[in-house]
Structures are given as structure tokens and as C-alpha cells.
Chains A and B, each alone.
Chain A
Amino acid sequence: MRLLLSFFLLFSALYGLPFTEIRYSDAFNKSVTLQGNITFGDERVSIAYKENNESLFYDDGDLTIYENGKEHPLDAMQEERMAAFFDILLLLHSNNQRLLEENFDIKHTKAYDILLPKGDMQEYIKKIEIARVKGELSFVKLFLKNSDTITIKIENETED
């Protein structure tokens, strides 16, 4: 398992899709921009950030974080929150219409699809905007209940 994880993280760093993450904090009216590579697998996702030697590996409920090659401990709350975030990301990436419609009310606009969460998700997410290029996820913006936003732009190989 550990070997598989290391391999997946290495693969992600070398061959993952480059992405940019912009976190807007309403508390300071300030944004932080992070860049790295992201790799999607079957119910798993790994992220390797460029700025620091840090990576995240999420595999269907299990989240592992590495800082300078060492596993970083997570408390249950953090893990729960992050797991929910990655579950959403994987769902958006899968483009599984049945599951998407189960979890969101979807409005199609010219530029984006707007996803309005149903059920528990409503408690922390106001809405999500997504865009795809040739069927591949290229843009995600999460509007959180506390007025923070998280924007992820993925540079797909299929993009011109």
C-alpha cells in the first residue's frame, strides 16, 4: 500500500495535470495562490504542490499528507472536512450525471454549469461553478457558506 502510494505521488509529481488553486479568505479579503500537479484515479486523487515539498493523497476516504517526505498527522475533524472536499472533487471529475443530479440541482449557463448542493452539503457549500473542456474538468469554483471561495484551474492536455 505504502509503495503504491509513493508511486502514485511520484507519478502525480511527474505526470499529473498542472493546476492552480486560488483560496480566497473572506476574513482578510485576501487570496492565496498555489500551484502544483493533480492526478485523478479511480476514486483517488493526488496533489503535489510546487511551492513546498508537500503532497496530498486521497484514496476513497483515506487521506494522507506528506510534508518533506514525512507523513503529517491529521485530526479527525480535518480529515473529515478534507475527505468531503475530495469526494466532491472526484464526483465533479467523474462527470457521473446520475450522482451529480443526486447531489446537486444543476443549472447550465453558457460559461459554466452551476451546481446547487442538496442535503448535508448545503450546510457548508453555497454553490459550485464548473467548466469542462472536451469533457474534462478544467475549472471548479466552490462558494462556501462562510463567503470563502476555492478556485481550481486545471490545464488539461486536451486544452488548446
Chain B
Amino acid sequence: MKQKINYFILLLLLLSAYILKDSIHISTNLLSLFAPKEALGRLAIANELGYSKEMFIAVKGFTKESKKELKSIARELKSLDGIKEVVYTTRPDKSVQNYFREYYPVLADFDARKLSDAEIQNRLKELYKSTQKSLFYTPINRRDPLGLFKMSQDPLFASHKGRYLCLNNYGYLIKVSTDISPSEMSKAEKLYKDVQKVLLKYKNVVAFAGFFYTVENSAKIKADVERIVLLSTIMLLIIYFVMLRSLRLLLHTTIALVSSMIFAALICTTTMENFGVLSLAFGTSLTAVSIDYFFHYYFHNFYQSGKTFDKSVFFGYLTTISAFGIFAFIDLPMLSQISIFALLSLSFAYILFTFVFPYLDIAPYEYKGEQRYFSLRVPAYLITIFSLGVLLYSMDVMHFNDNIATLDYQNKKLQKAQALFSSAQGEKLYPILVEAPTTEMLIARLHTIKKHTKRSLSLANFVPENQFCKQREAEIARYGFEKLRERTERISEQLGFKKGYFNDAYRFVQKPRSCSDIELDIFHKYNLSVYRGSKGIYTIAFVDSLKSIDGLSYAGAIDAKAIFAKVANAMFDEVLFYALIVICVIMLLLFVSVRERFFYALNYVLFPLALTLGVIVTFDTLNIMHLFALIILIAIGIDYGIYMSNTQKASRTMLAIRYSLLSTFAAFGVLMFSSIVALNSIGVVITLGCLAIYILIKGMR
């Protein structure tokens, strides 16, 4: 019965997974893994406000045919599920037109200079001329015949031809608001397919939306990951089979690893919000590291020894989980998620390999032959000095790549389309999230931002500040429109206008509407809306420079690239800080566990770190995934350092490490064949690290 315990554990876990299947949440949003919580909060609100839910479609050329296509595409898109609004003209919608009409006295520029009778006469004569001589029919503005109010609007659409929106000189443009945020995979996939079906009928059409990346890249990433996982699994199975030469043992080992992965995955995905798919993939691979506990036990015949505890394996495990335990507190979702996953899966694997495997009746390993060292073996202190030198060199030449986009799958086609649509803005405008406790303060803050920037687009382009409204009301009250109307009536009659024609002139200024009544939700056509959250009111503004909002506590960037670039250095410092704590703890634990062979064991951390970092900073730029992989490398290195330092049977330990290295390469190293930069970076680090550790076991004394 006890021999079957491994199977029962797996069954129990699978049953739990089935029961909990509805509580499992996995996020595919890459950014949510990197951005700090505060930026994530901003992004969640921006999502509510419709940010990154826009789609752009350009029809090449300005021919009759392209205009027809434009209208036809717009018509078809309007009927699709998930599409909220389709805009291809500059014409404001009815609610905005009404707004301009109702608030005209406040929104228009007002010439408050008092007019003489002669000036009134001249202006009315001009009116007469325009109606009688103009090439086209010109109606008389009976509300404001003297033209005291003039609407001067900021250009809201960067480029248009007549009333049609344009993408510079490329062609006509359609702006589409959708319900789809880039993280909603199934909805995104459906709309993507529907849109592609519509566009297939038209030639010379380019389309772009943030969620296109989700759909296209996910498919590419999935295919790439499937290829890598298959390669990795085949390699692992071959390696384990060749090493263990027992199908039964291979099965038990695989079950133990799978159980550990399921255990950690279940806890992480049911209890943690936004647990990322990348953390899951990464954590799952990381579980394979625990195979070295098994190898060490197996090659040292621990299961037949009757012992219940092996000091080396325990210290290896303790040091590794201490490192991950510290990293779990880092304010970087991906790193903390991976660390928690590793903590859980490695602990579960340690328990299985240590306390369950002795009951499985594992046959003893028959050791044949001795492991050979290199002919030239270098003293440990020299390797320590060399490693520290390389680390210092690396710190000096290190350049950190803060562009998160370079980590993703490089979808050249979409990147080209995105660049095409970005160029339509002329000077790039960056989206920012602005918050305030009240609507009045929100508008005031948007006006402050408008004053601080050369170019911006926000509700401040449409809505005046309350203070301005009050000033305008006072100005209008002082002006004396009653008298002006009487004079206009009198003079117009003298000029031949019909009696009483201007009887209603300037009555529209009598009761200007209060600015606090302005409905802010009507400007969604310009991607401007408000979200009322529990902590205040939020809106998105677009500014030409993010520096202009530096120091404004109520405004923050929501552009993924900008967020990452801004936090990258702080994040890098934080990772370094935590890495230093981890190294200190490792040194302490190493000292406790290996004592006099301290530097020898420490080299298993320092040398792989130095070699890998040295190669990367010399030939590439360091990215966040390199950093994560270096942390894994530390975790692997510690175990081997402790095993090699404490070993009584060096040859067996070397053999165990060699096989562990092979399995680590099969689990992680194969990632270097991935076309996704994030995965490739991990693969490169782990492969170089494995090579460095191999050099150490063979060539250090």
C-alpha cells in the first residue's frame, strides 16, 4: 500500500484541481507581471476608461474607391459584437453639438469691448454683403449678429481631409472604440476573427489594435512554447531513462515533479490575484530543479540507508527556499509570483523525495567507475578572485534594457502597423491617468496640465474651469446686452433689415448654464471619459511629454513602455537590493553548512553569476528576464556548492550534479531555442550557468 502513496498524492491533487477548477485564475497580461502595484491600479482604471480598447483602420489613398471602401468598412464594423463606436469624420456627435450650443457663451471667445454705433453699423453692413454677394448661401446669425462670440477650438483630430479623418498622406482613417481590453483573450480572439473577416474583402487596408498583439502573439507564443515544452519533455524523459534505467523509477520521479507543480499551481492560481501565465510556465520549469534532491539521494543510496535526513540536501533545500522566500517580498509581481511558486513546489518536491520515496522500494544504484577531473584544477580562491573581477567589470559596462516591448514576441507586421498609426499623431502624445476627489478639481487639474504642456488633449480642451465660468458670467452680466440689442435693432432697421429681425439677439447669454452641470461622459468620441471610483474621479489625458507631469501627485503614466521605463531603474535597484540580501543569507547559510570550505561553496554562486553576466553585458544588453534567470542560477548553484563541499563520495556527487545539470538544461536551457526574447534570455543564462558549474565540478580544487 505504501508503495502506491505517490500515485495517491497525484490523484488527490488532480481531484483538488478538478474541484477548484472554477476558482483558478491565470492572467495573460504580460505588463501586470512587471508593473508595480500602483501602476497596475492606474492601468485597471485606465482599462475602465477604455484605454487601449481602440482599433484603427486605414484605407490607402484618397480616391473615390477608397472613400467608398471606408464607408463600407465602417458600416460592416458597426454591426460587429464588441464594437462600441465607429468614427471616420470630424463631425461631433449630437450630444457634443448640443453641448457646444448650450455652453456657447462660456466656451466661445468673447470680445467684451463695447461697440460704438458706427462699429455696429459696419458689422451689420458686412452681414448684408455676405448674404447678397457671397458665392454660397450664408445664413445670418440672429443670435450673435455682431460676432462678439467666436468659437476657437483646438485641433482635435491631427489630420483630416474635408470632414474625413486621415492618416497623414497614407489614406482615410477609421477610429473604432471596442469593449475589448488586450487581456481579455477569448473576447479579443472573437473580435479579431470578425474584423479580419470584414477586412479580407478589401485591398490596401491596414488595421491595428492593442488586442491584435494579444491574439497574434499569444498564438505565436503558444506554438513556440509548445515546441519548447515538447523538446524539453523528450529530452528530460530520455535523460531520466538513461540515468535511472528503470521505467518504474522514471514514472515515480515524473509523478513527484508533476505533483509538486500541480500543488504549487493550485495554491498560486486560486489564492493570488493576477497570477501570470509566464510565472506559471517559469515556476513549472523551476520545479525541475528539485530533481537534484532526488539524484543526490539516489546516487548516494539514501533510500536504502535507513536514514531520514541528509544534511547536504537539507541545507541545499533550505538555502534555495531562503533565497526564494526573500524574493517573495519584492514589489515586482512576476518575481514574487515565481518565488512563491518555487517555494511551494520545491518544498513539496523535497517532502516527496525525502519522506515518500523511501517507501517506494527503490533499488539501490550500482555505481560503476569514477568521475574524472580536468587535468588542470584551479584553486578555489583564484576562482573567487576571478569571479569578483568579472562581476566588477560587468557592473561597470552593464546597460539595462528598459524597453519591455523587446521581451515579447517581435511581431514585425503588427509593429509596422502600430508605427504607421502612431505617426498619425505627428508628435507623439502619451496617455496619462489623472485623478481628483471631485469633478471640479479634476477639470482644474486638467487645465493645470494643459498649461504645463505644449500640446495635450484632455477634457480641458472642451470643458472650462469653474472659476473661468464664473468670471465669464460676471463679464456677460456687466456688458449690457439689453441695450446692445436695442441699438442693433435700431441701426439694422435703418440699413434695411426687417423690423424686429434681431429681437432675439443675445438672449442666449441671459441665463448661461452652470459649468458644474456639464456632462463629462459625452466626449468619448475623443477617447475622453470619466470613471468614478471609490477613491475619486479619474480620466485619461494625452500629453506631449511625460516630464511635464513629473511632480504632479495626481497624474501618472499609463503607457506600458513609459511605465516600464520609469520603473525599470527603480526595479533594477530593488532587484539588486534583494539580491544582496539573498547573497548575505546564502553566505550565512553556507558558512553554517560548509564552514571551512566556504569559498569553495560560494564559488558555485559567484562563478556562474560572473561568467553569465560577463558574457551578456559584453555581447548584449541586460534585461529583466536575464535578472530572473540569474536568480534561478543562484538557487541551483547553492545546492551544488553545498553537495560538493560536504561530500564524502565526490565521484557520486559529481555524477548526481552532472545529471542534475543535464536535466536543468533540458528544462531551462532549451528555452534558448525560443524566438521569444523573454524565454530566450532565460535559456541563454541557464545554459551558460550550467556550463560554468560543470567547469567548477571538474576543474576547481
Q: Which A residues have a C-beta under 8 Å from some C-beta of B?
A: 1, 23, 25-30, 32, 42-43, 49, 52, 54, 56, 59-63, 65, 67, 72, 78-83, 85, 120, 144, 146, 148, 150
- A28 and B497 form a contact (CB under 8 A): yes
B18 at the interface (CB under 8 A from A): no
Closest A residue by C-beta to B132: A32
Q: Which of B81-136 contact A (CB under 8 A)?
A: 89, 91, 94, 127-128, 131-132, 135-136
Taking the nearest CB of chain B, how far is it from the CB of A33, in angstroms?
11
Once A60-B64, A61-B163, A120-B94 are accepted as A-B contacts, the answer to whether A29 and B137 lie under 8 Å apart by CB is no
Cβ proximity bits B157-176 to A, threshold 8 Å, 1 near / 0 not: 00001111000000000000
- A83 and B163 form a contact (CB under 8 A): yes
Once A28-B128, A28-B496 are accepted as A-B contacts, the answer to whether A78 and B136 lie under 8 Å apart by CB is yes
Closest B residue by C-beta to A150: B137
Closest B residue by C-beta to A43: B64
Q: Which of B181-215 contact A (CB under 8 A)?
A: none
- A54 and B91 form a contact (CB under 8 A): no
Once A56-B135, A67-B135, A85-B137 are accepted as A-B contacts, the answer to whether A62 and B161 lie under 8 Å apart by CB is yes
Taking the nearest CB of chain B, how far is it from the CB of A34, in angstroms?
9
Q: CA–CA, A61 to B70, complex, Å?
A: 13
Q: CA–CA, A23 to B132, complex, Å?
A: 9
Once A42-B64, A63-B162 are accepted as A-B contacts, the answer to whether A27 and B131 lie under 8 Å apart by CB is yes
Mind listing 21 A-B residue pairs with CB under 8 Å? A25-B132, A27-B498, A28-B131, A28-B498, A30-B132, A42-B64, A43-B64, A49-B135, A61-B67, A61-B164, A65-B135, A65-B136, A78-B136, A80-B163, A81-B139, A85-B137, A144-B139, A146-B139, A146-B142, A148-B137, A148-B139
Contact of B136 among A61, A82, A144 (CB under 8 A): A82
Taking the nearest CB of chain B, how far is it from the CB of A38, in angstroms?
13
User: A25 — which chain B residues lie within 8 A by C-beta?
Assistant: 131-132, 140
Q: Which of B58-86 contact A (CB under 8 A)?
A: 62, 64, 67
B554 at the interface (CB under 8 A from A): no
User: B137 — which chain A residues lie within 8 A by C-beta?
Assistant: 23, 85, 148, 150
Q: CA–CA, A29 to B135, complex, Å?
A: 19
- B91 and A80 form a contact (CB under 8 A): yes
- B140 and A29 form a contact (CB under 8 A): no
Known contacts A67-B135, A120-B94, then 11 further A-B pairs from the complex at CB < 8 Å, ordered by chain A residue: A27-B131, A42-B64, A43-B64, A54-B135, A62-B162, A78-B138, A80-B91, A81-B139, A85-B136, A144-B139, A146-B142
Q: How many A-B residue pairs have CB under 8 A?
A: 67
Closest A residue by C-beta to B162: A62
B479 at the interface (CB under 8 A from A): no
Taking the nearest CB of chain B, how far is it from the CB of A15, in angstroms?
20
Interface of A is mostly: mixed
- A26 and B162 form a contact (CB under 8 A): no
Q: CA–CA, A142 to B128, complex, Å?
A: 21
- A146 and B140 form a contact (CB under 8 A): yes
User: A61 — which chain B residues lie within 8 A by C-beta?
Assistant: 67, 89, 162-164
Taking the nearest CB of chain B, how far is it from the CB of A13, in angstroms?
15
Taking the nearest CB of chain B, how far is it from the CB of A49, in angstroms?
7
Once A144-B139, A146-B139, A148-B139 are accepted as A-B contacts, the answer to whether A83 and B162 lie under 8 Å apart by CB is yes
Taking the nearest CB of chain B, how far is it from the CB of A76, in angstroms?
8
Q: CA–CA, A59 to B137, complex, Å?
A: 18
- B94 and A27 form a contact (CB under 8 A): no
Taking the nearest CB of chain A, how far is it from the CB of B78, in angstroms?
15
Taking the nearest CB of chain A, how far is it from the CB of B476, in angstroms?
22
B501 at the interface (CB under 8 A from A): yes
Q: CA–CA, A79 to B91, complex, Å?
A: 11
- B67 and A60 form a contact (CB under 8 A): yes
- A26 and B163 form a contact (CB under 8 A): no
Taking the nearest CB of chain A, how far is it from the CB of B164, in angstroms?
6
- A1 and B62 form a contact (CB under 8 A): yes
Once A61-B162, A146-B142 are accepted as A-B contacts, the answer to whether A26 and B498 lie under 8 Å apart by CB is yes
Q: CA–CA, A25 to B163, complex, Å?
A: 28
User: A78 — which chain B residues lie within 8 A by C-beta?
Assistant: 136, 138
User: A81 — which chain B residues lie within 8 A by C-beta?
Assistant: 139
- B497 and A27 form a contact (CB under 8 A): yes
Q: Which 6 A-B pairs have the closest CB atoms?
A: A62-B162, A61-B162, A54-B135, A61-B163, A25-B131, A27-B501
User: A56 — which chain B residues lie within 8 A by C-beta?
Assistant: 135-136
User: A146 — which chain B residues lie within 8 A by C-beta?
Assistant: 139-140, 142
Q: CA–CA, A28 to B125, complex, Å?
A: 12
Q: CA–CA, A28 to B132, complex, Å?
A: 10
Taking the nearest CB of chain B, how far is it from the CB of A42, in angstroms?
7
Taking the nearest CB of chain B, how far is it from the CB of A80, in angstroms?
7
Once A42-B64, A61-B162 are accepted as A-B contacts, the answer to whether A27 and B136 lie under 8 Å apart by CB is no
Closest A residue by C-beta to B140: A27
Residue of B132, B137, B140, B164 with most chain A CB atoms under a 10 A cut-off: B137
Closest B residue by C-beta to A61: B162
Taking the nearest CB of chain A, how far is it from the CB of B475, in angstroms?
24
User: B142 — which chain A residues lie within 8 A by C-beta?
Assistant: 146
User: A27 — which chain B residues lie within 8 A by C-beta?
Assistant: 127, 131, 140, 497-498, 501
User: B164 — which chain A residues lie within 8 A by C-beta?
Assistant: 61-62
User: B91 — which chain A residues lie within 8 A by C-beta?
Assistant: 80
Closest B residue by C-beta to A34: B135
Q: CA–CA, A139 to B12, complex, Å?
A: 86
Closest A residue by C-beta to B145: A27
Taking the nearest CB of chain A, how far is it from the CB of B63, in angstroms?
8
Q: CA–CA, A59 to B62, complex, Å?
A: 11
Q: Which of B26-69 contact A (CB under 8 A)?
A: 62, 64, 67
Closest A residue by C-beta to B71: A60
User: A26 — which chain B residues lie within 8 A by C-beta?
Assistant: 498, 501
Taking the nearest CB of chain A, how far is it from the CB of B510, in angstroms?
20
- A29 and B498 form a contact (CB under 8 A): yes
Q: CA–CA, A24 to B501, complex, Å?
A: 15
Q: CA–CA, A51 to B208, complex, Å?
A: 51
User: B67 — which chain A residues lie within 8 A by C-beta?
Assistant: 60-61
User: A85 — which chain B residues lie within 8 A by C-beta?
Assistant: 136-137
User: B162 — which chain A residues lie within 8 A by C-beta?
Assistant: 61-63, 79, 83
Taking the nearest CB of chain A, how far is it from the CB of B138, in angstroms?
8
Q: CA–CA, A65 to B256, complex, Å?
A: 81
Q: CA–CA, A25 to B131, complex, Å?
A: 7
Q: CA–CA, A32 to B142, complex, Å?
A: 20
Closest B residue by C-beta to A148: B139
User: B496 — which chain A residues lie within 8 A by C-beta?
Assistant: 28
